Amino acid sequence: MELTKPQVKFLRSLAHDRKPVIWLGQNGLTDSVSSEIETALDYHELIKIKLRVGDRDLRDKTIEELCGKTRAEVVQRIGNIVTIYRKNRKHPGIVLPK
């Protein structure tokens, strides 16, 4: 699902005052961290993740891998914090603008 500009803007406004719910460390994207991200996305739909994985290239590669595994979309990345979104198909909580 590709997000439009108005949808990204709306999601960024919702994520502004949220705190990171997942901290990703030097071990990278392990299976246990992936399952925690899946659980958080199912419950919240929109989450922030704090990354401490090294330089910018490794961080971008980790974000790409993370979104590929979880089928989530990047809403925003500022420094070491990335905001991702995945719609909950069974019980959607966030209604996106058209």
Query: Domain limits at 27?
Result: 5-85
Looking at residue 54, what is its pLDDT? Answer: 81
Domain membership of residue 63 (yes or no) is: yes
| pLDDT tens sequence for the chain (98 residues) | 689 999 999 999 999 999 999 998 888 888 899 999 999 999 999 999 999 988 889 899 999 999 999 999 999 999 999 999 999 888 888 989 88
Looking at residue 28, what is its pLDDT? Answer: 81
Across the beta sheet with 73-78, the strand order is 22-24, 46-51, 81-85, 73-78
Domain membership of residue 32 (yes or no) is: yes
Claim: this prediction has a pTM higher than 0.85 = yes
Domain membership of residue 81 (yes or no) is: yes
Eight-state DSSP code of residue 76: E
For residue 69, the domain's CATH number is: 3.30.110.60
Eight-state DSSP code of residue 27: T
CA distance 49 to 72: 12
Looking at residue 55, what is its pLDDT? Answer: 86
